[in-house]
Amino acid sequence: MPAIVFPYGRENRAGYMSGYLEDIQVSRRALAALQVGLCLCDAEGIKSMRLFINILFSIILSFVRLLRFHQDRICGWFIRINNQIVLANIPPNLKNEHLFLLIPHCLQNYDCEFKITSQVKNCRKCGKCSIKDLINFSEERHIMLSVAPGGTLARAIIKEYQPRLIIAVGCERELESGINDVYPLPVIGIINQRPNGPCKNTVLNMNKVEEVVQIITQQAVRSQEK
């Protein structure tokens, strides 16, 4: 379970946790129904489903903002649904070289003088943050790696490298926005952990990145065998 940030103070933890767990149960039921639907869809059907969910979510999010509900929970639900759809539609000829790992600059140690925003290889691999492991992983797996400095520049980077699938790391709202911005390019979102609050010394579980790449590889092989 991802780290939970309680924005309304300690006294509201119980109520927030109850709502969070309820949201997980709803998401599980929705994902179960979605998996059945995916089995009945061809590639065009899945693409249409992604578009439908994107539009539906935009409408839901408008109501969430209007009523001041906790937006991160809703965005998290959307990301899980999106990931299921993308992973169910991995093309047979997809290779690691076609993947693009897009990470936020807040993963870097806040006090580090070697900023990686313009060039991730500025990292000195001291091991004080997740950047060292991400660089090593991307080099070993031959996966493109870049830091997302912002929405406009991130789109420019994507246009330059032209990946076929993006693995993006970030907070719920950044991922939701990015997934919609680059549609129909498929994106798998991995939510970071924020023990120090937003946008500072965030943490990434590398096991999640490795698991996603492994699933993509397995799905590509299975697609070739069909």
Phi, psi of 195 (to 5 degrees): -65, -20
Token look-up 């999106």 returns 82
Lowest mean pLDDT among 46-55, 102-111, 126-135, 185-194: 46-55
Residue pair 202/194 in contact by the 8 Å Cβ criterion: yes
The confidence band for 11, taking pLDDT boundaries of 50, 70 and 90, is: very low
Separation of alpha carbons 41 and 155, rounded Å: 29
Per-residue pLDDT of 85-144, as tens digits, reads 888 888 888 999 999 999 999 999 999 999 998 789 899 999 999 999 999 999 999 999
The residues, ordered by sequence, that sit 6+ positions from 198 with a Cβ below 8 Å of its Cβ are: 5, 106, 171
Lowest mean pLDDT among 1-10, 50-59, 103-112: 1-10
The predicted pLDDT at position 197 comes to 87
Q: How many helices (H) and strands (E) does the chain have?
A: 7, 4
199-205 long-range contacts (CB < 8 A, ≥24 apart) are 199/106, 200/106, 200/110, 201/106, 201/109, 201/110, 201/129, 202/104, 202/106, 202/107, 202/171, 203/3, 203/107, 203/130, 204/103, 204/107, 204/130, 204/134, 204/169
Q: Is the peptide bond before 2 cis (omega within 30 degrees of 0)?
A: no
Of the two residues 132 and 158, the one the predictor is more confident about is: 132
User: For the chain, what is the mean pLDDT?
Assistant: 77
* pLDDT over 90 percentage in the chain: 39
The confidence band for 193, taking pLDDT boundaries of 50, 70 and 90, is: very high
Token look-up 């070289």 returns 97
Q: Hey, what are 25's tokens?
A: 């149960």
Q: What is the mean pLDDT of residues 51-59?
A: 63
Three-class secondary structure of residue 24 per DSSP: helix
Fill in the DSSP letter of residue 193: B
Of the two residues 7 and 131, the one the predictor is more confident about is: 131
Of the two residues 31 and 205, the one the predictor is more confident about is: 205
